[in-house]
Amino acid sequence: MMAAMQDMATPARAAANMETMAEVRIEGVSKSYTIGPIRELVLDQCSLTLAPGKLTVLIGPSGCGKSTLINILGGYERADDGSVTLDGQPISGPSSDRLVVFQETALFPWMTTYQNIVYGPLVQRQRDMKQVEVEAGRLLDKVGLKDFRDKYPSQLSGGMQRRAELARAMINNPRLMLLDEPFRGLDAMTRELMQEYFLRLYEDKRQTVLFVTSEIDEAIFLADTLVLMSNKPGRIIKSMEITLPRPRVASLLMSPEYLRYKDEALEILHEEAMKAFAGGSQAAADFVEAYDKRDA
Amino acid sequence: MSGAALIARQSSSRTATGQPVGSLSWRFQQALKSPVPYLGLLGILLFGIFWFLTTEYLKLPRFEKLPGPIEVWTEFTSRDPTYGTSMYTPEYYKHIAWSSLRVLIAFGLATVLGVPLGLFMGWKRTFKDYTFPIIEVLRPIPVLAWVPLAILMMPGREAPIIFLAFLAAFFATTLNAMLGVESIDESYFRAARCLGSSPWQIFKRVVVPGAMPDVFTGLQIGVGVAWFSLVAAEMVSGEHGLGFLIWDSYVLSQYPVIVIAMVTLGLVGYVYSAIIRAVGRMLMGWTARTQA
């Protein structure tokens, strides 16, 4: 495992990926839903740029429209207002150059881990399958599922399923990866491991990533840019550059810089959380609790 | 991997007697180690005793005309049966063959037409909007109500019988295939689309395998109702087959033959279901396996 940990991105590989790296511009995006007679504004004039090859983490209380933004970027939904472009091209409809990893596991239960991972290249028919096979083997190794290559998803644990799903997305070399609270519902230990697995994959490939979470530690640990979102309607309130060194390791969570970032983010989120808390949000309650504990 | 390790790995998936784990004979041996088959046999035995007591020993009113188990068994195993049907007469097997062949054709048609139709109905909303109402109205009509129309519509003697068996099975296979597709979680379609699948690939790799468990439930039900309607149809207008044999024996007061035919129907029906279950298990390894 240590050997794999050290197998990080070489500068050459990062350079080779430069041309495929995508910039996403989200400009003045609004979206509202009509439920019966009530019209609720979910996203209000959101503007955000995802820098090429950077990992942007979007954090905010639950129900603040983060998933809606992912759905718009994924092409599953359309914005009412504003524009969303990938390298200048407007986004319309789902596509394999923008891969989404959703909260719930969507591994095909009738395929083995390996069959799931090679699914994308298999149906896109644009790559040599021999080469894909090699790459799949490498990814399986990287996410620690080598021995589970021929198992079905029902035979994998929750964490393994998430890793398989990450590998299934990564193998397509998408220009943009969208992750919607992918580690939600995993226990704390597994979650930490998953973050490390994910970083290992990211630091290897350096694709443009938008990662949505409601966990502050996860957010800062992963992010190049941390974007804070407000609640109802969802607005972008602040964007923070996280300049912690990469590759990131768990011990970073103890460093003073890390704690400074956390303090700053919590300060801003606290205000928002109090509002959401009044509305009964559990994630907001967690924020408030974390905020109160920060000096302890 | 070294040769020794390879051998060790292979032997771990074999039993002491050298049969691969999971093979039919292995499963059979495992089953014999559990109490399940013995409990089943005991149940059958108790039923046999009840049957014997009511008909042959106590001769209860309304039961005394019925053939008892000993009478049936004697007739069935006789080389010179009183009523002309036993395990030694070719007639017996001819009836089985006729009925089996009819069910095979009817059920085969119901599968070949019903499953794709059902899959398509489940997949394409508009197609379902056109087809579902008519199917829902036709489905509750009992198969026997179709007998006159079947005879008017279909040429010859065989076609109406097969048509009736087909009709019953067709609704079961179609509707279950449709429900199977509808039960597939939306997230699989989303994932397939975002991984770059064409509609045809979604059909082939998501719709078909995802619906497979329900398709096989439909086939199980389908083959059951095919037998059910076949016997009814054979009673009305047949000259061979187990349904015909039952009715004919009733008319000629050859009561033990009725029971022979009934038990045979039960056994043949069971074999058909077992075959479908086995095929289903073979095709859907992913549903049977649990956490490793």
Per the CB < 8 A criterion, the answer to whether B264 and B242 are in contact is yes
The candidate with the shortest Cα–Cα distance to A212, out of A84, A76, A50, A89, is: A50
Per the CB < 8 Å rule, is B205 touching A151? no
- Range in A44-48, A61-65, A141-145, A250-254 with the lowest mean pLDDT: A61-65
Residue B101 has which token pair?
Answer: 């062949």
Chain A contact set for B290 (CB, 8 A): 154-155
> Mean pLDDT score of chain B, rounded to an integer?
87
What confidence tens digit (pLDDT) does each residue in B221-238 have? 999 999 999 999 998 877
Q: Which amino acid is at B97?
A: A
Closest CA of chain A from B33, distance in Å = 26
Query: What pLDDT score does B116 carry?
Result: 96
**Greatest CA span in chain A, whole angstroms?**
59
What confidence tens digit (pLDDT) does each residue in B40-64 have? 899 999 999 999 999 888 888 888 8
What confidence tens digit (pLDDT) does each residue in B78-108 have? 888 888 888 899 999 999 999 999 999 999 9
Q: At what angle do helices B90-123 and B208-237 cross, to 10 degrees?
A: 140
**Greatest CA span in chain B, whole angstroms?**
76
Residue B255 has which token pair?
Answer: 């009561």
Query: Cα–Cα distance between B169 and A69 in angstroms, integer?
Result: 47
Does residue B244 surpass a pLDDT of 90?
yes
**For residue A74, what is the nearest residue in chain B, using CA coordinates?**
B194
- What's the pLDDT band for B21 if we cut at 50, 70, 90? low
In B24-89, where does DSSP find H-type helix?
A: 24-33, 36-52, 69-76
Per the CB < 8 Å rule, is B194 touching A96? yes
The candidate with the shortest Cα–Cα distance to B76, out of B230, B201, B258, is: B258
Query: Which residues in A have their CB inside 8 Å of a CB on B?
Result: 74-76, 94-96, 98-100, 102, 104, 106, 108-111, 119-120, 123-124, 148, 151-155, 157, 168, 172
The full DSSP string for B24-41 is HHHHHHHHHHSSHHHHHH
Closest CA of chain B from A251, distance in Å = 33
Does residue A109 surpass a pLDDT of 50?
yes
**Radius of gyration (C-alpha) of chain B in whole angstroms:** 24
Q: How far is CA B3 from the centre of its chain?
A: 46
A85 vs A22, A48, A72, B76, B199, CA distance in Å?
Answer: 10, 11, 11, 80, 25
Query: Cα–Cα distance between B204 and B214 in angstroms, integer?
Result: 16
Residue B168 has which token pair?
Answer: 């019953």
- Identify which has the larger pLDDT, A122 or A10: A122
Query: Cα–Cα distance between A97 and B5 in angstroms, integer?
Result: 43
Q: What percent of chain B has pLDDT over 70?
A: 90
Closest CA of chain A from B283, distance in Å = 10
The candidate with the shortest Cα–Cα distance to B209, out of B236, B180, B232, B233, is: B180
Query: Cα–Cα distance between A170 and A140 in angstroms, integer?
Result: 11
Residue A114 has which token pair?
Answer: 């390996």
- Range in A58-72, A234-248, A269-283 with the lowest mean pLDDT: A269-283
Per the CB < 8 Å rule, is B289 touching A96? no
Per the CB < 8 A criterion, the answer to whether B163 and B150 are in contact is yes
Per the CB < 8 A criterion, the answer to whether B59 and B68 are in contact is no
Q: Which amino acid is at A170?
A: M
Chain B contact set for A145 (CB, 8 A): none
ipTM of the complex: 0.76
Query: What pLDDT score does B137 carry?
Result: 94
Query: Cα–Cα distance between A140 and A143 in angstroms, integer?
Result: 5
Chain B contact set for A110 (CB, 8 A): 209-210, 212, 284, 286
What does the pLDDT average to over B12-40? 71
Per the CB < 8 Å rule, is A123 touching B195? yes
Query: Spelled out in words, what is the top-level CATH class assigned to the domain A2-8+20-97+176-293?
Result: alpha beta
Per the CB < 8 Å rule, is B286 touching A154? yes
Chain A contact set for B206 (CB, 8 A): 108
Per the CB < 8 Å rule, is A99 touching B187? no
Judge if the upstream peptide bond of residue A247 is cis by omega within 30 degrees of 0: yes
Does residue A18 surpass a pLDDT of 70?
no
Per the CB < 8 A criterion, the answer to whether B56 and B69 are in contact is yes
Domain B90-285 has CATH 3.10.129.10: no
Q: What percent of chain A has pLDDT over 70?
A: 86
Closest CA of chain B from A145, distance in Å = 13
Per the CB < 8 Å rule, is A123 touching B285? no
Per the CB < 8 A criterion, the answer to whether A228 and A268 are in contact is yes
Segments making up each domain of chain A, as ranges: 2-8+20-97+176-293, 109-173
Q: Which of B201, B206, B290 sits opposite A108 (nearest CB)?
A: B206
Strands A89-90 and A24-35: unpaired
- Identify which has the larger pLDDT, B170 or B26: B170
Chain B contact set for A148 (CB, 8 A): 292
Query: What pLDDT score does B9 carry?
Result: 41
Segments making up each domain of chain B, as ranges: 33-66, 90-285
Per the CB < 8 Å rule, is A154 touching B185? no
Cα(first)–Cα(last) distance of chain A, in Å? Answer: 35
Query: Cα–Cα distance between B174 and B116 in angstroms, integer?
Result: 8
